[in-house]
Amino acid sequence: MTPPPVITPGSPASRPQPTLPCGDLLLRPWQAGDAAAFLAAYQDETIRRWHTRRPSCEADALKWFDTYRRDWATERGGHWAVAGVPGQVLGRIALRGWDFDDGLADVAYWVVPAARGGGVATRAVQALTAWAMEEAGFHRLTLDHSTHNHASCRVATKSGYDLEGTKRSAAVHDDGRHDMHLHARIREA
User: What is the DSSP secondary-structure string of 6-58?
Assistant: SS-TTTTTTSPPPPEEETTEEEEE--GGGHHHHHHHTTSHHHHHH------SH
Q: Is residue 111 part of a domain?
A: yes
- Structural domain span for residue 170: 20-186
pLDDT in tens, 119-164: 999 999 999 999 999 999 999 999 999 999 999 999 999 999 999 9
Query: Listing from the earlier edge strand, what are the strands of the sheet with 140-146?
Result: 20-22, 25-29, 77-83, 89-99, 104-111, 140-146, 176-186, 162-173
Q: Is residue 133 part of a domain?
A: yes
Q: What is residue 42's predicted lDDT score, i.e. its pLDDT?
A: 97
3-class DSSP assignment, residue 183: strand
Q: Is residue 36 part of a domain?
A: yes
Q: Is residue 58 part of a domain?
A: yes
Q: Is residue 10 part of a domain?
A: no
Q: Is residue 87 part of a domain?
A: yes
CATH of the domain at 27: 3.40.630.30
Q: What is residue 86's predicted lDDT score, i.e. its pLDDT?
A: 82
Residue 101 burial (CB count, 10 A): 12
Total count of domains within the chain: 1
Contacts 24+ apart (CB under 8 A), 83-86: 83/25, 83/26, 83/27, 83/28, 84/24, 84/25, 84/26, 84/115, 84/120, 85/24
In terms of pTM, does the model score above 0.85? yes
